[in-house]
């Protein structure tokens, strides 16, 4: 009985406890049902918070294009490799796992496709993490590479689509275009860091959108969730005044001079002589905006951000001022050699002794400093100072790029006032010189240098129009015409210092310059090559279309041959000016090389041999695509604009074959692809260094062309190393 009573008491206690728990649970359940809250939290809101997702919809950054719509900077799609390690992503009873189940096997396979050792990959795959990435080796995969890895069907291995800023032309105008980088990885937002990318970031960047939706525990959108989408606003397209072909002429000419003369710096600029539009802008050292390689040598856009003493190229300013003031008589004579300045040392001509008593016209041809000083004295130093303001020296042009320099006009002492007339003492910028020169080439109207042709939104609406603007009229049309005639004699005249800049068929008006270089702590540098050599010229001289300004600092000249500093300058100027005028269809004054003809006739149905002969006579480079005897088509097509030595692909009526593309540009490769329709994959930028299909192989439906390009900067380094090796071998012999 005692035992039974004890058991009853225990049973009653348990019953009471369980009854109390049941009551509490029931009460809790009823409270939650009635109030919809638990521990002060709204359960509906809690559930929504847990299963509601918000995803970013990336806006595309606007493209930067040249004036003809050719891309200079654009967004491209790349893929990032990731591995999911957490087993919770794989639903129960799933046939295919969604996470990495065999790290060792996965590491072994991936090591054959990415630039990492198997052991490195394995250590990443065995981390205690939900998902992992593979650093630099796991980024920037092309679609073709992604497809190859996807085909392996490795559990847990997947890709994330990313946007990347691409610069398809490599170093071309790199300091002008600049670059954009991912400043805020969380919001996937590219931000311009320099150049046009930075100065027009507000137009280019766009605005990201987002999508709100409800998902299951694995993040899959529920079909009944009613997703709310806030569409992204893509960035605007920026059309520059740059012409990619003219920019290419400038870049290639500078590359050649850079290899041959290894100057410390170079600057080159091509402008429309009538409007001030900048058609090309390049400098050395340069860099590749895709890889940033070379940027450590020079971050600055030295054309915009630095001022320098221009030397004798500046002389067109006092010449124009003296003509405008009516104190210039080209037949009047003066004593060259020396000009005395009260209270200071005399001013000398560059040969010290001068040429005796000569006319001012001859003095201009000979680049006489004394002639310029005399002209300033005739018009008065105060009057000349006013012309420096009229031509807007000493103030930025307002081209719209960061950190534009203004230069400094040194005009306190008498010697400075006279020295300014021949480009010493006072500092200027390349843009100021171009701006001033437009007054000479545009009938006295001075045009602001500008880079923006237009800015267009994604609907094609023009947001910002051309920045062409007249900024002053420092001289009359008659003065401009007379100044051009005098500047032409410096190239064509008997005593001209610019004879090297003569171009057959295109008379050039311009001025050479040899400026001293001052370095802090060293003073003015001495030596055969320690100068800033330059030339500013316009052509055709009677009605200029283009202004080209080239500066080469401290080139390695051949002293034994007394090689002049104007040689490397002329190699750039002459090539760029001639090719650009021909490309723009500017007719020469006289019949010259057939290269001036830049259109292709219709060769359809003609014999291949005859077409090869015709194209060769036109100074073009024919490339036969096929083994037939008759021409089906050419690429580029009929009436296309061409330049000397440009490739013309001849598609025959036979089987199409693969040529040797080594050294071809990306543009030439795209011509071939367009002509043949072959499936392709191109990696890199610049020039072709390898192709997967051997030359002369017949193209079939299964053919797929794999092309590897190398940036021009890398190509230059290889050429430079080969040149150094060859020179070293010759010296040892």
Residue 341 burial by Cβ neighbours in a 10 Å radius (0-12, 13-18, 19+): middle
Range of the domain at 604: 597-716
Of 409, 412, 372, the residue nearest 391 (C-alpha): 409
Of 213, 178, 228, the residue nearest 61 (C-alpha): 178
Q: Do both 258 and 329 map to the same domain?
A: yes
Query: What are the tokens at 280?
Result: 């090309």
> For residue 595, what pLDDT band results from cuts at 50, 70 and 90?
very low
Lowest mean pLDDT among 15-29, 507-521, 603-617: 15-29
Q: Is residue 515 part of a domain?
A: yes
> For residue 731, what pLDDT band results from cuts at 50, 70 and 90?
very low
Give me the mean pLDDT over the 316-336 stretch.
Answer: 97
How much of the chain, in percent, has pLDDT values that exceed 90? 50
pLDDT in tens, 266-321: 999 999 999 999 999 999 999 999 888 899 888 899 999 999 999 999 999 999 99
| 0.85 exceeded by pTM | no
Residues listed for the chain: 733
CATH number, domain of 102, equals 3.90.1310.10
* Boundary-marking domain end, from 203, 219, 240: 240
Q: Do both 90 and 147 map to the same domain?
A: yes
Task: Look at residue 86 in the predicted model and tell me its pLDDT.
Answer: 87
Q: Do both 407 and 547 map to the same domain?
A: yes
Query: What are the tokens at 64?
Result: 């930067």
Choose from 66-80, 123-137, 158-172, 361-375 the range with maximum mean pLDDT. Answer: 361-375
Q: Do both 625 and 671 map to the same domain?
A: yes
Q: Do both 571 and 606 map to the same domain?
A: no
The SS3 call for residue 400 is coil
Give me the mean pLDDT over the 367-379 stretch.
Answer: 97
Q: Do both 579 and 607 map to the same domain?
A: no
CATH number, domain of 257, equals 3.40.710.10
Q: Is the pLDDT of residue 450 over 50?
A: yes
CA distance 299 to 402: 12
Give me the mean pLDDT over the 505-533 stretch.
Answer: 90
Q: Is the pLDDT of residue 151 over 60?
A: yes
Give me the mean pLDDT over the 488-515 stretch.
Answer: 94
Task: Look at residue 51 in the predicted model and tell me its pLDDT.
Answer: 54
Buried b (16+ CB within 10 A) or exposed e, 602-631: ebeeeebeebbebbeebbbebbbbbebeeb
Q: How many domains does the chain have?
A: 4
> For residue 471, what pLDDT band results from cuts at 50, 70 and 90?
very high
CB 509 within 8 A of CB 535: no
Catalytic residue among 63, 174, 199, 312: 312
Task: Look at residue 359 in the predicted model and tell me its pLDDT.
Answer: 97
Q: Is residue 730 part of a domain?
A: no
Q: Is residue 340 part of a domain?
A: yes
> For residue 687, what pLDDT band results from cuts at 50, 70 and 90?
confident
Q: Is residue 653 part of a domain?
A: yes
Q: Is residue 722 part of a domain?
A: no
> For residue 400, what pLDDT band results from cuts at 50, 70 and 90?
very high
> For residue 397, what pLDDT band results from cuts at 50, 70 and 90?
very high
Helix ranges (H only) for 237-299 are: 244-261
Q: Is the pLDDT of residue 733 over 50?
A: no
The SS3 call for residue 151 is coil
Whether cis (ω within 30° of 0) applies to the bond prior to 285 is yes
Q: When comparing pLDDT for 221 and 672, which is higher?
A: 672
Ramachandran sector of residue 651 (left: φ over 0; alpha: ψ -120 to 50; beta: rest) = beta
CA distance 578 to 267: 18
Of 559, 562, 565, 553, the residue nearest 517 (C-alpha): 553
CA distance 67 to 455: 11
Q: Do both 413 and 471 map to the same domain?
A: yes
Q: Do both 428 and 517 map to the same domain?
A: yes
> For residue 36, what pLDDT band results from cuts at 50, 70 and 90?
low
> CB within 8 A of 119, min separation 6: which ones?
107
Q: Is the pLDDT of residue 599 over 90?
A: no
In this structure, is the dihedral angle defined by the CA atoms of residues 311, 313, 317 and 322, taken in order, positive or negative? Answer: positive
How much of the chain, in percent, has pLDDT values that exceed 70? 86
Give me the mean pLDDT over the 418-439 stretch.
Answer: 96
Q: Is the pLDDT of residue 203 over 90?
A: yes
The SS3 call for residue 718 is helix
Of 535, 550, 444, the residue nearest 491 (C-alpha): 535
Alpha-carbon torsion angle 389, 392, 396, 397, nearest 10: 160
* Boundary-marking domain end, from 205, 222, 240: 240
CA distances from 244 to 173, 239, 252, 448, 643 (A): 9, 12, 12, 21, 13
Q: What are phi and psi of 469, to 5 degrees?
A: -160, 135
pLDDT in tens, 69-94: 999 999 887 888 999 998 888 887 77
* Boundary-marking domain end, from 240, 256, 278: 240
Q: Is residue 728 part of a domain?
A: no
**Around Cβ 285, how many Cβ atoms within 10 Å?**
17
Task: Look at residue 265 in the predicted model and tell me its pLDDT.
Answer: 96
Task: Look at residue 688 in the predicted model and tell me its pLDDT.
Answer: 82
Q: Do both 340 and 482 map to the same domain?
A: yes
CA distance 426 to 394: 9
Provide the strand spans (E) within 66-208: 71-84, 131-133, 157-166, 179-184, 189-194
Q: Is the pLDDT of residue 705 over 90?
A: no
> CB within 8 A of 142, min separation 6: which ones?
78, 79, 681, 683
Give me the mean pLDDT over the 155-161 stretch.
Answer: 88
> CB within 8 A of 257, min separation 6: which ones?
263, 266, 552, 555, 568, 571, 572
**Around Cβ 157, how many Cβ atoms within 10 Å?**
19
> CB within 8 A of 153, min separation 6: which ones?
none
CA distance 612 to 273: 37
Specify the pairing of strand 631-635 against strand 647-652. antiparallel
Residue 179 burial by Cβ neighbours in a 10 Å radius (0-12, 13-18, 19+): buried
Q: Is residue 47 part of a domain?
A: yes
312 belongs to the catalytic site: yes
Lowest mean pLDDT among 13-22, 397-406, 718-727: 718-727
Helix ranges (H only) for 587-629 are: 608-617
Q: When comparing pLDDT for 631 and 448, which is higher?
A: 448
Task: Look at residue 187 in the predicted model and tell me its pLDDT.
Answer: 62
CB 619 within 8 A of CB 595: yes
CB 281 within 8 A of CB 430: no
Q: Is the pLDDT of residue 55 over 80?
A: no
Task: Look at residue 593 in the predicted model and tell me its pLDDT.
Answer: 44
Q: What is the distance in angstroms between the CA of the first residue and the CA of the last residue of the chain?
A: 123
Helix ranges (H only) for 36-83 are: 43-51
Task: Look at residue 666 in the predicted model and tell me its pLDDT.
Answer: 76
Q: Do both 366 and 276 map to the same domain?
A: yes
Mean pLDDT score of the chain: 86
> CB within 8 A of 321, min separation 6: which ones?
375, 379, 383, 384, 387, 475
CA distance 272 to 132: 53
* Unique residue bearing structure tokens 């004699």: 489
Of 426, 392, 431, the residue nearest 408 (C-alpha): 426
Q: Is residue 724 part of a domain?
A: no
Q: Is the pLDDT of residue 543 over 80?
A: yes
Give me the mean pLDDT over the 545-555 stretch.
Answer: 97
Q: Do both 194 and 309 map to the same domain?
A: no
Q: Do both 350 and 471 map to the same domain?
A: yes
Element (H, E) at 470: strand 470-472
Task: Look at residue 267 in the predicted model and tell me its pLDDT.
Answer: 98
**Around Cβ 458, how many Cβ atoms within 10 Å?**
14
Q: Is the pLDDT of residue 507 over 90?
A: yes
Q: Bridge-partner residues for 186, per DSSP?
A: none
Angle (nearest 5°) at CA 294 between 140 and 402: 95
Q: When comparing pLDDT for 217 and 511, which is higher?
A: 511
């Amino acid at each position: 009985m005692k035992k039974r009573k004890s058991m009853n008491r225990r049973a009653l206690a348990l019953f009471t406890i369980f009854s109390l728990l049941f009551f509490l649970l029931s009460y809790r359940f009823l409270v939650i049902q009635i109030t919809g809250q638990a521990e002060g939290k709204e359960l509906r809101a809690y559930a929504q918070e847990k299963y509601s997702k918000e995803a970013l919809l990336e806006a595309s950054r606007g493209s930067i294009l040249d004036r003809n719509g050719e891309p200079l900077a654009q967004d491209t799609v790349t893929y990032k490799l990731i591995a999911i390690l957490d087993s919770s992503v794989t639903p129960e009873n799933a046939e295919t796992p969604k996470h990495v189940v065999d790290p060792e096997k996965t590491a072994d396979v991936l090591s054959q496709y990415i630039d990492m050792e198997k052991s490195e990959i394995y250590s990443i795959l065995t981390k205690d993490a939900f998902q992992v990435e593979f650093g630099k080796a796991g980024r920037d995969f092309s679609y073709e590479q992604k497809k190859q890895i996807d085909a392996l069907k490795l559990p847990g291995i997947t890709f994330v689509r990313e946007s990347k800023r691409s610069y398809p032309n490599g170093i071309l105008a790199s300091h002008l275009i600049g670059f954009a980088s991912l400043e805020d990885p969380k919001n996937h937002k590219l931000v311009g860091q320099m150049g046009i990318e930075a100065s027009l970031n507000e137009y280019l960047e766009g605005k990201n959108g987002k999508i709100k939706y409800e998902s299951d525990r694995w993040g899959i959108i529920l079909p009944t969730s009613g997703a709310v989408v806030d569409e992204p606003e893509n960035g605007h397209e920026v059309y520059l005044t740059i012409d990619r072909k003219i920019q290419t002429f400038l870049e290639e000419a500078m590359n050649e001079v850079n290899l041959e003369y290894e100057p410390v710096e170079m600057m080159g600029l091509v402008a429309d002589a009538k409007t001030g539009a900048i058609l090309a802008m390049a400098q050395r050292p340069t860099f590749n905006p895709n890889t940033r390689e070379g940027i450590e040598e020079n971050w600055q856009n030295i054309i915009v951000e630095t001022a320098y003493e221009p030397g004798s190229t500046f002389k067109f300013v006092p010449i124009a001022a003296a003509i405008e003031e009516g104190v210039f008589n080209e037949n009047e004579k003066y004593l060259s050699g020396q000009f005395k300045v009260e209270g200071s040392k005399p001013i000398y001509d560059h040969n010290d002794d001068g040429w005796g008593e000569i006319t001012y016209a001859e003095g201009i041809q000979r680049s006489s400093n004394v002639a310029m000083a005399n002209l300033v004295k005739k018009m008065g130093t105060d009057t000349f100072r006013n012309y420096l303001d009229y031509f807007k020296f000493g103030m930025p042009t307002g081209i719209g790029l960061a950190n534009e320099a203004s230069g400094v006009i040194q005009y306190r002492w008498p010697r400075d006032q006279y020295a300014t007339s021949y480009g010493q003492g006072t500092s200027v910028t390349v843009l100021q010189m171009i701006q001033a020169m437009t007054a000479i080439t545009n009938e006295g109207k001075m045009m602001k240098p500008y880079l923006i042709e237009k800015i267009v939104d994604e609907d094609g609406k023009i947001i910002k129009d051309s920045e062409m603007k007249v900024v002053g009229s420092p001289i009359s049309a008659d003065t401009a015409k007379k100044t051009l005639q005098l500047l032409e004699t410096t190239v064509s005249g008997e005593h001209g210092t610019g004879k090297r800049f003569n171009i057959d068929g295109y008379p050039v008006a311009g001025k050479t310059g040899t400026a001293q270089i001052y370095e802090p702590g060293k003073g003015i540098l001495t030596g055969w090559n320690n100068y800033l050599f330059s030339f500013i010229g316009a052509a055709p001289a009677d009605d200029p279309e283009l202004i080209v300004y080239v500066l080469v600092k401290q080139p390695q000249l051949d002293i034994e041959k007394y090689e002049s500093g104007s040689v490397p300058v002329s190699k750039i100027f002459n090539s760029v000016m001639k090719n650009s005028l021909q490309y723009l269809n500017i007719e020469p004054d006289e019949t010259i090389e057939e290269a001036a003809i830049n259109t292709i006739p219709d060769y359809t149905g003609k014999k291949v041999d005859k077409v090869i002969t015709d194209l060769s006579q036109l100074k073009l480079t024919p490339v036969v695509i096929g083994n037939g005897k008759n021409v089906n088509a050419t690429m580029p097509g009929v009436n296309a604009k061409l330049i000397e030595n440009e490739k013309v692909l001849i598609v025959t009526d036979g089987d199409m074959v693969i040529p040797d593309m080594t050294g071809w540009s990306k543009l030439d490769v795209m011509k071939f692809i367009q002509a043949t329709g072959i499936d392709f994959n191109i990696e890199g930028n610049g020039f072709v260094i390898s192709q997967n299909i051997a030359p002369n192989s017949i193209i079939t439906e299964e053919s797929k062309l794999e092309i590897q390009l190398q940036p021009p900067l890398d190509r230059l380094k290889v050429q430079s190393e080969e040149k150094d090796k060859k020179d070293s071998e010759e010296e040892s012999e």
